[in-house]
A and B are shown apart, each in its own frame.
Chain A
């Protein structure tokens, strides 16, 4: 029976993993893929998206991805979308990050449902059709067409069902749920509102984004310490195994390795997966949110660089970069940057 289980596991897992890839079904206008290797390429139909890749659409861009042949992801113009991965309760979980812009999800009978993340929120989904919008001021809007989405921010969970929506400002708890009439939601108006919020007080908005960066950096540091502790324990266990073999023989060693060390080895590398996940989330804030804000401000104040609003923004910008350099860069590798 055990042999059959092993055989099924060995055959099923690679097929399952292979089928989980996201593939471009439709591409229109300017749509680019930034590969994990750092390479930036123009997206084309049938291109495959892998963990760590980003999709960036221009002002005229639109793309549709299929996942497991049953699910669709629609990426609107001026959007940044990243596929990431982390370990959660012993399982490796795909994370779909809506860094900026608007994305529609239609998940149908997925074997492994991903979490959805914006700079402000994390959401779990279940057999669902919904839209996520993430604006320049970091706030998020979720609207559910069908099914259920659990949106979490600052420790508070709101469960949305069919024809319900919620707004979540960055660094705050989700607002009150509201009813939506499907097809009547003005997403671009909502995105404009986010841009207006940023225009009103860019330094304050950037300060909120910096707080989110600090959260990501803290989580990366926490998982890195977990990794160090786990690795140190693992080293002791490996030394212990040598003593067990000397004292009790190779059977006892085999038992100890399979029962104690093998799971610890997996756990140790999962901590690496998680500290890298938070570091890469921070990198996406730096690369896409901060740079969009900076370009917006630089363009607006190009002839008025002494303007106090711009100066205040630059002070916050420097603070962000200091946190990033000190607390995030140590967890990145050259290929990320």
Chain B
């Protein structure tokens, strides 16, 4: 019986090591991250929304202040709905392109995602385009 238990434990350890599975954090794919971001945008708080972004995103420090989110992502513009298709990873970056709907209006959006912990993806950049002025998009990078 002891031998069976030991063998079972050993097998579990080997499977975990071989599969590269992280026991301490749940994996978050780019699509999962987008869904989490959408849920946060549809909540009433902007205090922790920056946590959906990669800590190496250039504006990470700026977007920590909830005042920054009084822009296109304001709670006044709820509900938010994404329809984004993901591309294959290139150089560790996955790009998603599609539309963001809010205020019952559609806007073209491009997002890039970058892995931080193993299998945990975060938003790295975001570009939201106003069709009336494509040269002046809202950028989070």
* Alpha-carbon distance between A258 and B133 when the two chains are bound, in angstroms: 9
- Check if B36 is an interface residue, CB within 8 A of chain A: no
CB of A10 within 8 A of CB of B61, answer no
**A17 within 8 A of partner (CB):** yes
The interface-forming segment of B2-10, B14-22, B24-32, B65-73 is: B65-73
Q: Determine the chain B residues whose CB is within 8 A of the CB of A268 once the complex forms.
A: 70-71
A39 to B73, CA, bound (A): 29
Find out whether the CB atom of B133 lies under 8 angstroms from the CB atom of A263: yes
Chain A residue at minimal CB-CB distance from B108: A6
Kindly state whether residue A250 has any CB partner on chain B within 8 Å. yes
CA–CA, A21 to B58, complex, Å?
9
A50 to B70, CA, bound (A): 24
Establish whether residues A11 and B110, one from each chain, have CB atoms under 8 Å apart when the complex forms.
Answer: yes
Q: Are B61 and A336 in contact (CB under 8 A)?
A: yes
User: Which chain A residues lie closer than 8 Å to B56 at the CB level?
Assistant: 48, 50
Determine the residue in chain A with the shortest Cβ distance to B56. A50
> Can you add 20 more A-B contacts, CB < 8 Å, to A6-B108, A263-B130, A265-B70?
A5-B134, A6-B129, A10-B108, A11-B110, A13-B125, A13-B137, A14-B127, A18-B93, A48-B56, A50-B60, A51-B61, A92-B139, A235-B76, A254-B105, A258-B105, A265-B138, A266-B71, A266-B72, A276-B61, A280-B61
Residues of B participating in the A interface, judged by any CB pair closer than 8 Å: 55-62, 64-65, 67-72, 74, 76, 93, 95, 97, 103-105, 108-110, 112, 124-125, 127, 129-139, 141
- A residues within 8 Å of B by Cβ? 2, 5-6, 9-11, 13-14, 17-18, 21, 35-37, 48, 50-52, 85, 90, 92, 227, 231, 234-235, 238, 241, 250, 253-254, 257-259, 262-263, 265-266, 268-269, 272-273, 276, 280, 333, 335-336
